[in-house]
Structure formats: structure tokens, C-alpha cells
Amino acid sequence: MDAYTPQLPDEDNLYEHHAFTVDKGQTPLRIDKYLMNFVENATRNKIQAAAKNGSIFVNDVPVKSNYKVKPFDAIRVLFTHPPFENLLVGEDIDIDVVYEDDDLLVVNKAPGMVVHPGHGNYSGTLINALIHRFDNLPNNSSERPGLVHRIDKDTSGLLVVAKTEEAMAHLSLQFANKTSEREYVAIVWGNVKEDSGTVEGNIGRHPKNRLQNTVFFGDDEDKGKPAVTHYSVLERLGYVTLLSCKLETGRTHQIRVHMKHIGHTLFNDERYGGEKVLKGTTFTKYKQFVDNCLKVLPRQALHAKTLGFVHPTTGEFMRFDSEIPEDMQQCIEKWKVYSKHQEL
């Protein structure tokens, strides 16, 4: 192993920021290049500096940036300060609260807002806003105050937040037992063949790009966790389709991964390749039209529209519905006009 002994502070004062186990199929690759695929917002210079400072460990031994990773290597990135996501600071940020009582609140999250700190987003998050607004929010199993579930940064829509330990336990159990109701609206590439269907496929981290998830099946099925998405067509718009997607499970990027898996990547989902023209013609005017749609909706076309759950104190089933945001609505309208023109 290409290792050396740097000048390290007392190891008791080091904090783990990232930890990976290299996939069994990994070919030899410099660790600085490898980590660029696995650490969000990391530049090669930043990774090389971390290695120079003795912050990157392979199998508990510090390595240089030119160390070549091998299958099953245990990689850890440690620093002398705690992960920023553990240093929570309240911030006076406006949030759209659609319902609130003594036990919980329901928030309509704007697109672009990160739910919890981490991976380069350490301020301006929903949690920063919540801890400014409320004292003593209960922690979930990941030590995140108030969060019962989450949605991605560029996904808009409804979230329930627990204000008491009892509400956290009750609501979390509903999500775990699949008794909560969650409906999303999505624009996906292509004309979805069936009017409705179900996608089942275990979801886990992509073996070569930790910023993505993927579907595992066959002999690799146990690398992912079971995930089920039910979809139905709301409107066919030529080269894209407007879908309703109902979650039976709640895996990270579930709808985004399942839709890509069946050949219908979300419109403008850059992480999964949806920002490219995946369906349509080669005409320049069509490319310009798609570019205009991408500018109108500069994020993945996904909105958490409906949320339902049993109230932890009253036992009443509560259902909340939200309007499709303006950016997504404008994109839908553009495709409606385009598809009608194509039919003429």
C-alpha cells in the first residue's frame, strides 16, 4: 500500500465525514479520481489537499492522493472539525406552512431548498429554518430535528414535521409501515405506453457513482432495498408524459431512479441524464423549444403534490394537497401547446 505517516492531530479529535467500501468490481483507480465521483461538490485539488493533510484513510491507514483503490477497500475521510451538518444554526428563513398544531406542521417546500444540511449545503436549509422557529424539536433516527421524511433539494412539495417525540414516533411508524399517502406529479421523457403500472426494483447506491442510485436485480438484488412506485398517466404531451406517481416505499431518489429504469427519465433531471433531449426530433427548432422548457423549469420535473397520514393524537386521517408550482406549470403548458401543434 502506498502509505505514509503525516503530522496528525490526536486521532481522538478526528471526525468522520465520509465512509465508503469499494465495490467488488472496481478496477484500480487513483483515490483522488475515485473520490471525485463519490463526494458531492469535491474538486480534485480539495481531495488532494485532504490527502496531503493525512485526512484520507484506506483500511485505517492514511494514504496519498495517488493511492490506487482496490475492491473492498474501506475508505474514510476524516477532519479535525465535526461535519458541518452536525453544527446546526437557526436561520430566519421564510417557509410556507400549510398546517400547524401542537404536534406537527405541514410545509410546502419550495424548489431549491435543501431539507437538511450536508454535502456542501450547510445553511439555508429547512432544518435551519425549523430550529430558528421552534425549540426542542425531537430528533429522528439520523439526529435530524423534526424530520419524519425528506424530499430532494430540487423537488418541491409537501413535508410533515414532528414537533413532539410522540408525534415523531407515530408518524415515522406510518411511513415505515407504508400507511402514509404520498402522491407526486412528474414530467417524464417519452410517451409512457401503459395508462398505469407499477415499478418494483430494489434501490441502492450506484456502484460507480455514489451521487446516483440505481435498481439492483437478479443476483445483485440484495445490494438495494425494496422499492415500489405506482404510476398513472395524467396527460400525454407528445415527447413527454405527465404522470401521477404514488410511493409505497420511500427510498432516496425513488421516483427518479424507477422512471429512468423503465426508460422514462424525469424531464431536466440532470443527475440522471434528463437534461438532454432524450425523445423527439433532430430539428433545430425542436432543440430550441426544449432548451426554452429547460430554462423555464431549471430542475427535475417533480412535485410532492399530496400527503396523507393519521394524526398522532386525534387519530383522524388528514390529507393535504398542493398546487403544482409555477415553473413546472409553465413547462407543462409549453408542452401542451407544442403537442397540439404537432397533431395539426
Tens-place pLDDT, residues 199-228 = 999 999 888 887 899 999 888 888 899 999
Cell of 257: 431512479
This prediction's pTM: 0.77
Report the sign of the C-alpha dihedral through residues 77, 82, 85, 91, in that order.
negative
**At which residue does the C-alpha cell 481531495 appear?**
47
pLDDT digits (tens, 9 = 90+) for 35-59: 887 776 667 787 888 888 888 999 9
Residue 142, pLDDT score: 73
Element (H, E) at 51: helix 44-52
Mean pLDDT of the chain: 88
What's the confidence (pLDDT) of residue 79? 67
Residue 343: count of CB within 10 angstroms of its CB: 6
pLDDT given for residue 8 in this prediction = 39
User: CB under 8 Å to 343, separation ≥6 — which residues?
Assistant: none
Q: Which residues are catalytic?
A: 152
CA dihedral 240, 225, 147, 312 (to 10 degrees): 100
Number of other residues whose CB lies within 10 A of the CB of residue 6:
13
pLDDT band (50, 70, 90) for residue 80: low
Would you place residue 305 in the very low, low, confident or very high pLDDT band (cuts 50, 70, 90)?
very high
pLDDT of residue 44: 77
Task: Tell me which of 239 and 22 has the higher pLDDT.
Answer: 239
Name the band, by pLDDT with cuts 50, 70 and 90, for residue 6: very low
Question: Residue 84 carries which DSSP code?
Answer: G
The pLDDT of residue 83 is: 53
pLDDT of residue 38: 73
The secondary structure of residue 248, as a DSSP letter, is S
DSSP letter for 23, please.
Answer: -
pLDDT attached to residue 180:
95
Cα-based angle 317, 318, 319 (whole degrees, multiple of 5):
125
Which of the residue ranges 168-182, 200-214, 278-292 would you say has the lowest mean pLDDT? 200-214
